[in-house]
Structure 1
């Protein structure tokens, strides 16, 4: 009887693991070769939805102390992007950007430091910025950016990297065997490099 219960529990455990598979990646964040923070990306795959989470922490000096904790939470139903929430906490204030699918369009309310954007985008999207950490954008020409709430163009660079134009900032993503190894990010405050460490 005890043996049957144990086998049943083991079967149940592996069934749950199969239903909710999780993939975790870790990155360092650096400026001019100096590490200023870290980033963790998590993908949880369920039976009917995939959840993507991204959290980054930075702490550095640039004409004053800059500290930031940025958390992004996004959901997909099969291949369609459904919604995202991006919460930014800094010593300059707190900001929130949300994107939600409603019937046939996305309702967008994006806010960050000295930036506000409210809009609608008609029609479904199958790729957003957070997916860049888990899936090489081989057949992707545009994506929905969770931070600014805008559609960004994706171009394959001549040197093997992908360029993503986000509100005028050109970010470069480098992949090996389909996995992201490095991203060079343009930012209004300071450009930085995201490098995979796990």
Structure 2
């Protein structure tokens, strides 16, 4: 086997692990991974597993985003969501000259086409600051978040009344604050993961 092919086959996985907290309590986990494949393709995976039980508020959500990116362009994104309200899915697929976009999520339906190549997604935000980007494609919704830098390595992502805040240190995503009418969700890089990644540099 050629050296280059062997290197691609054994490409290491870049993994970022986060806790998900509500009102100071850990209610789930989120894991983002990035791995180079053959043919200038990178596979990104974002997995979230949440269970919340507060009085009359009950939430159970497991979802996984899988993105296939070739030469910097999103070729295929699939989102599978399993919740206490049912199972849902979203799909964004490049057809050669446009994307077919279908999002069927809880109380949310969206179908569209997009002719412009998608080169930056919400999942990308887990692997570095969105420098030079004014929007990020939200795979779950099949639509874009508008990004605004708010200083101190912090960015606001806004879409249709929804607002998230991303906080970075030295280019590493440390926390995300997801606004919620009941309680905000805090997604926080796990300390052990931060130390391990820092030591690997």
Q: What is the CA–CA distance in structure 1 between the aligned matches of 2:136 and 2:149, rounded to whole Å? A: 14
Task: Give the C-alpha shift of residue 190 in structure 1.
Answer: 4.8
Conserved in 2, the CA contact under 8 Å of 1:19 and 1:45? no
1:176 is aligned to 169
Task: Judge conservation of contact 1:145–1:166 (CA < 8 Å) in 2.
Answer: no
Unaligned runs of at least 5 residues, structure 2:
194-201
Q: Which residue of 1 aligns with 2:53?
A: 61
Unpaired segments of 5 or more residues in structure 1? 1-7
RMSD: 2.2
The CA distance in 2 between the partners of 1:136 and 1:159, in whole Å, is 12
- The 5 A counterparts of 1:1-198 are 15-16=6-7, 20-47=11-38, 48-62=40-54, 63-187=56-180, 190-197=183-190, 198=193
TM-score using structure 2 length: 0.86
Q: Which has the larger radius of gyration?
A: 1
> For residues 79 and 19 of structure 1, do their structure 2 counterparts lie closer, same or farther at Cα, with a shift above 3 Å needed?
farther
**CA separation of 1:117/1:190 partners in 2, compared to 1, >3 Å: closer, same or farther?**
farther
Aligned residues: 189
1:67-100 Cα offsets, whole Å, 9 max, x none, are 1111110111121111111111011100001111
